[in-house]
Amino acid sequence: MISIKQPEGKLGILLPGMGAVTTTLIAGVEMLKKGLTVPYGSVTQMQTIRLGRRDDKKYPIIKDFVPLAKVDEIEFFTWDITDETAYDAAKNAKVLSEADLDKVKPELEKIRPMKAVFDQKHVKRLSGTHVKTGENKMELAEQIRQDIRRCSEGLSRMVMVWCASTEVHREIKEVHSSLEKFEQGLRENNEDILPSMVYAYAAIQEGVPFVNGSPQLTVDIPALIELAKAKNVPIAGKDLKTGQTMIKTIIAPGIKSRMLGMKGWFSTNILGNRDGEVLDDPESLKSKIVSKASVLDHILQKEMYPQLYKDLHHRVNINYYPPKGDDKEGWDHIDLFGWLGYPMQLKINFLCKDSILAAPIVLDLALFIDLAQRAGMIGIQEWLSFYFKSPMCSEKVYPEHDLFIQHKKLKNTLRHMMGEDLITHLGNEYYREE
Ligand SMILES: NC(=O)c1ccc[n+]([C@@H]2O[C@H](COP(=O)([O-])OP(=O)(O)OC[C@H]3O[C@@H](n4cnc5c(N)ncnc54)[C@H](O)[C@@H]3O)[C@@H](O)[C@H]2O)c1
């Protein structure tokens, strides 16, 4: 059993970006604290975990099995480019009804964002007034570090989860290749260092675990992975697996497990929230499309099953359509074939609510990365792949996208942490008795 420090005292969840996801999360947690709701969608709060043999009948809820911070012990801190209370931001996001927001109005009104590190070059569709200034990016990182230290008063631990807008797509460049080059880049205001990387650098320097909820690289660069290891900090990312990609990673492993072939998978998304508006810029869109596109290749393994998947056409579109608001709609059309090559079709129309799916994921990630920190786990936390569209992994392996493998890995990691047997699903009931 791994030695895990108990979660004594308060946990600060630091959230760059106070938009739809962040305000939906905060409002929900504040309602949970008052006993006004049930934590639907949260694996940590609702899911059981089997221990031992099926007939041992031990199924504790995850939050009672591993020492997680209690929801009552959470406090929130945010940064945003607009200076308004979490109550006003939540109203503008139009995810939750005013009737629900009013139940936690005093708690939401108390939260005001700190000034952001922001550069319009990296999120073309936004402009902000509530923004830090400094000589260079190292100075801005220093200001975020000061913010973090100020937030730490009265808390025992903190974690940071990036819930701000999707930034433009960037490939890994020289400046990201080592910590030394990255720090030089911060001092020289290198263009390829995104604001999200400045936050991640500041958090890790302060010993605060960092999670990236958006698709751009952020912490998924050698320089920050190096820093996380040096500072003994766990990190995870990227891009929360919510609507269409969640469904894709549920359906595709099932089709593959039955050795059904696939000629094409056409996906289109229609969304109308501010996230959609940001993604209306081709450079931010590219971050998202890259994140969504690789999923099927990894699940279907066409190099291993060329007869089934070598001709697969996978198309992903994202369309900004304001009337939809936060009610995202995903359309999937899948061309399959089976025995003797006969064709079939599967069509899926998912009418989801983006931030309703994302908020419990952010809660789980914050609680799990805090657990990882207390368990002495450092660097990339691959066992949290379950929550991401584009999971970070060691360069020696490929990312695991299959939701069921990810789920098994998550639960087995928890069992391992607590010194329980891993569940292999291997039974002995098939053998005749000697
Ligand atoms: N909702 C989902 O299902 C889902 C799924 C996967 C990923 N995401 C990602 O989560 C992020 C948040 O989504 P959302 O719907 O809340 O978006 P949103 O537009 O409602 O909120 C984003 C907020 O970030 C702020 N912001 C932008 N740049 C900033 C910076 N540098 N520092 C501080 N604040 C900054 C914006 O002002 C805005 O208030 C997006 O990147 C999105 O791609 C969301």
Q: What is the CATH number of the domain that holds 334?
A: 3.30.360.10
372 within a domain of the structure (yes/no): yes
Structure tokens at 284: 């931010």
Number of helices (H) and strands (E), helices first, in the chain? 16, 11
Run of H or E residues at 20? helix 20-33
Output helix, strand, coil percentages for the chain, rounded to the nearest 5: 45, 15, 40
Which residue did the predictor score with more confidence, 224 or 118?
224
Is the C-beta atom of 245 inside 6 A of ligand 1?
A: no
Closest CA to 401 of 416, 412, 385: 385
The DSSP call for residue 58 is: B
Task: Give pLDDT tens digits for 65-78.
Answer: 999 999 999 999 99
Instruction: Name the residue range of residue 385's domain.
Output: 11-240+355-417
**Taking residues 252-270, what's their average pLDDT?**
95
Decide whether any atom of ligand 1 lies within 6 Å of the 122 Cβ. no
DSSP SS3 for 36: coil
Q: What is the DSSP string of 199-237?
A: HHHHHHHTT--EEE-SSS-TT-SHHHHHHHHHTT-EEE-
Model confidence at 61, pLDDT cuts 50, 70, 90, reads very high
Mean pLDDT across the stretch 98-111?
97
Evaluate if residue 54 carries a pLDDT over 90.
no
**What interhelical angle do 195-205 and 222-230 show, nearest 10?**
10
pLDDT single digits (tens) 314-341: 998 888 888 888 788 999 999 999 999 9
Cα(362) to centroid(ligand 1), Å: 12
CB burial of 280-308 (b: ≥16 within 10 Å; e: otherwise) equals bbebbbbbbbbbbbebbebbbebeeeeeb
Residue 192 belongs to some domain of the structure? yes
Do 377 and 230 contact (CB within 8 A), yes or no? Answer: no
Q: Per the domain annotation, does 425 fall within a domain?
A: no
Q: Given ligand 1 and candidates 143, 275, 357, which is best to mutate, with the most ligand atoms within 8 Å of its CB?
A: 275
> From the CB of 195, is ligand 1 less than 6 Å away?
yes
CATH of the domain at 413: 3.40.50.720
Judge whether 163 and 19 are in contact, CB under 8 Å.
Answer: yes
Average of per-residue pLDDT across 79-104: 96
Strands annotated E in 33-180: 74-80, 114-115, 157-162
Higher pLDDT residue, 2 or 331? 331
pLDDT on residue 275: 72
278 shares a domain with 231: no
* In the predicted structure, residue 80 carries a pLDDT above the cut 80: yes
What digits encode the pLDDT tens for the residues 352-394? 988 999 999 999 999 999 999 999 999 999 999 999 999 999 8
Distances (CA, A) of 426 to 52, 60, 97, 258: 12, 21, 48, 20
In a domain, 202, yes or no: yes
Peptide bond into 238 cis (omega under 30): yes
Place of tokens 């000629």: 263
Domain boundary at 302, 335, 351, which?
Answer: 351
Same domain, 98 and 147: yes
Give the integer Cα–Cα distance in Å for 298 and 266: 17
Where does the pLDDT of residue 430 fall: very low under 50, low under 70, confident under 90, or very high at 90 and above?
low
Count: domains in the chain: 2
Q: Is residue 374 within 8 Å of 353, Cβ to Cβ?
A: no
Query: Would you say the CB of residue 166 lies under 6 angstroms from ligand 1?
Result: yes
What pLDDT sits at residue 128? 83
Clarify whether residues 264 and 413 are in a common domain.
no
- Give CA–CA dist 75/152, Å, rounded: 10
Same domain, yes or no: 215 and 287: no
Residues 346 and 367 placed together within one structural domain of the fold: no
- pLDDT category of residue 295 using cuts at 50, 70 and 90: confident
Pocket of ligand 1 contains residue 163 by CB under 6 Å: yes
Averaged over 386-411, what is the pLDDT? 91
- Ramachandran angles phi, psi of 382, nearest 5°: -65, -25
Interatomic CA distance for residues 286 and 297, integer angstroms:
18
In one letter, which amino acid is 296? L
- For residues 234 and 360, membership in a common domain is answered with yes
* In-domain check, residue 267: yes
User: Phi/psi of residue 275, each to 5°?
Assistant: -55, -45
pLDDT tens column, 7-32? 999 999 999 999 999 999 999 999 99
Give the pLDDT of residue 168: 84
Claim to verify: residue 129 and residue 261 sit in the same structural domain? no
Domain presence at residue 433: no
Contact 352, 359 (CB under 8 A): no
- In the structure, what pLDDT confidence band is assigned to residue 42 with cuts at 50, 70 and 90? very high
Q: Is the pLDDT confidence value at 244 over 90? A: no
Q: Do residues 362 and 241 touch, judged by C-beta distance below 8 A?
A: no
Residue ending a domain, choose from 351, 381, 408: 351
Cβ(84)–Cβ(21) below 8 Å = no
Q: How far is the CA of 172 from the centre of ligand 1 (A)?
A: 22
Q: Check if 23 has its Cβ closer than 6 Å to any atom of ligand 1.
A: no
Residues 49 and 166 in one domain: yes
Verify that 196 and 287 share a domain, yes or no.
no
- pLDDT over 80 at 120, yes or no: no
pLDDT over threshold 90, residue 126: no
pLDDT tier, 288 (very low <50, low <70, confident <90, very high otherwise)? low
Q: Is the model's pLDDT at 279 over the cut of 80?
A: no
Closest residue to atom 40 of ligand 1, CA basis: 165
Residues 196-200: what's their mean pLDDT? 98
* 192, pLDDT greater than 70: yes
Distances in whole angstroms, Cα of residue 200 to Cα of each of 131, 224, 227: 17, 8, 10
CB 216 within 8 A of CB 170: yes
Q: Determine if ligand 1 sits within 6 Å of the CB of residue 104.
A: no
Query: Using an 8 Å Cβ cutoff, are 333 and 353 in contact?
Result: no
Report CA 284 to chain centroid distance, whole Å: 17
Q: Please check whether residues 21 and 153 belong to one and the same domain.
A: yes
Which residues lie closer than 8 Å to 169 by C-beta, 6 or more apart? 216, 283, 284, 286, 287, 290
One domain for residues 188 and 104 = yes
Q: How many CB atoms lie within 10 A of CB 178?
A: 15
Please report whether residue 168 resides in a domain.
Answer: yes
Is the CB of 211 inside a 6 Å radius of any atom of ligand 1?
no
Q: State the pLDDT at residue 433.
A: 65
Could you tell me if residue 430 is inside a domain?
Answer: no
Are 16 and 158 spatial neighbours (Cβ–Cβ below 8 Å)?
no
Looking at residues 137-156, what average pLDDT do you find? 97
**Rounded average pLDDT over 280-295:** 72
- Both 188 and 58 in one domain: the answer is yes
pTM (predicted TM-score): 0.94
The pLDDT assigned to 56 comes to 87
421 pLDDT above the threshold of 70: yes
Looking at residue 124, its pLDDT comes to 67
Q: Phi first, then psi: give them for residue 127, nearest 5 degrees.
A: -140, 145
Band (125; pLDDT cuts 50, 70, 90) = confident
**Mean of the per-residue pLDDT values of the chain:** 92
